[in-house]
Chain A
Amino acid sequence: EAGVAQSPRYKIIEKRQSVAFWCNPISGHATLYWYQQILGQGPKLLIQFQNNGVVDDSQLPKDRFSAERLKGVDSTLKIQPAKLEDSAVYLCASSSSVPLSKKASEATDTQYFGPGTRLTVL
């Protein structure tokens, strides 16, 4: 099974420029997440999609960040304009509705992460 694909792997831009990241989730996974991981921190959710609808974007800085998931498969995350504090690794994860165990009471999703895009804003 192919994993979550992300591109580019690295990007260096100057502040106030725009940048876009692409994610291709595991085939058949309905849920897609974008996380931001600042150096020395754990990943933090930016946005969660279920198919092509937004489930949670409460932590997405909507004045500069936007994301879409057309056709419920690939997703693009954009930053415009970038700030110095946006320097981070942007991780995409996907999950399916298959439970972690056979017990219905333990139904949840396993999130699989891509390798991330390392963004440096100068």
Chain B
Amino acid sequence: QKEVEQDPGPLSVPEGAIVSLNCTYSNSAFQYFMWYRQYSRKGPELLMYTYSSGNKEDGRFTAQVDKSSKYISLFIRDSQPSDSATYLCAVNQAGTALIFGKGTTLSVSS
């Protein structure tokens, strides 16, 4: 079983749609849950992070962590063409390297 599982998509939605991206993980010791966005031919950039369980909202983006089911979600409201990118979930413990999912490729059409 891989440490982090993520459906690679691709996912295509029209502009304005609500997007749901998900990951599952296997190790209950992970404490930090992150979403990175990666545009084509660029390095990943941190979008959001969550410590332990709960929700976190930042503008059109909401990150959720359910530690009981080892499930991580990212919701994008009112999606825009500029949101078209690959979204990577990542987990770790403090001070350690990130363990990434495969990434989900999102395309938002205008």
- In the complex, A92 Cα to B41 Cα: how many Å? 14
In the bound assembly, the distance between CA atoms of A91 and B42 in angstroms comes to 10
Chain A: minimal CB distance from B3 (Å): 11
Report whether A56 and B97 are in contact in the complex, using a CB–CB cutoff of 8 Å. Answer: yes
Is B6's CB within 8 Å of the partner chain A?
yes
How many positions in chain A have a CB within 8 Å of any CB in the partner chain?
A: 29
The answer to whether B88 has its CB under 8 Å from any CB of chain A is yes
Complex CA–CA separation, A31 to B98 (angstroms): 13
Contact A101 B101, beta carbon cutoff 8 Å: no
Tell me if B100 counts as interface (CB < 8 A to partner A).
yes
Using Cβ atoms and an 8 Å threshold, which residues of chain A touch B99? Answer: 45
Chain B: number of interface residues, binned into ranges: 20 to 34
Asked if B17 is an interface residue, CB under 8 A from chain A, the answer is no
**B-chain residues with CB within 8 Å of residue A43 when the two chains form the complex:** 44, 88, 98, 100
Contact across chains for B97 and A42 when beta carbons are under 8 A apart: no
**Are B44 and A115 touching (Cβ within 8 A)?**
no
* A56-B96, A108-B95 given; A4·B43 CB < 8 A: yes
Q: Count the A-B residue pairs with Cβ separation under 8 angstroms: how many?
A: 64
List residues of chain A with CB within 8 A of the CB of B90: 42
A84 within 8 A of B: no
Contact of B94 among A33, A108, A115 (CB under 8 A): A108
Instruction: Report if A20 contacts B (CB, 8 A).
Output: no
Give the residue among A4, A42, A45 with the most B Cβ atoms within 10 A. A42
Q: Is A48 an interface residue (CB 8 A)?
A: yes
- The residues in B between 92 and 110 inclusive whose CB is less than 8 angstroms from any CB of A are 92, 94-103
**Alpha-carbon separation in the docked complex, A113 to B62 (Å):** 22
Interface: A70 (CB within 8 A): no
Supply 10 further A-B pairs (C-beta < 8 A) apart from A31-B95, A111-B46, A116-B43. Answer: A41-B102, A43-B44, A45-B99, A56-B96, A91-B44, A101-B51, A107-B94, A110-B49, A113-B45, A114-B43
- Chain B residues in contact with chain A, CB under 8 A? 4, 6, 8, 31-32, 36, 41-46, 49, 51, 88, 90, 92, 94-103
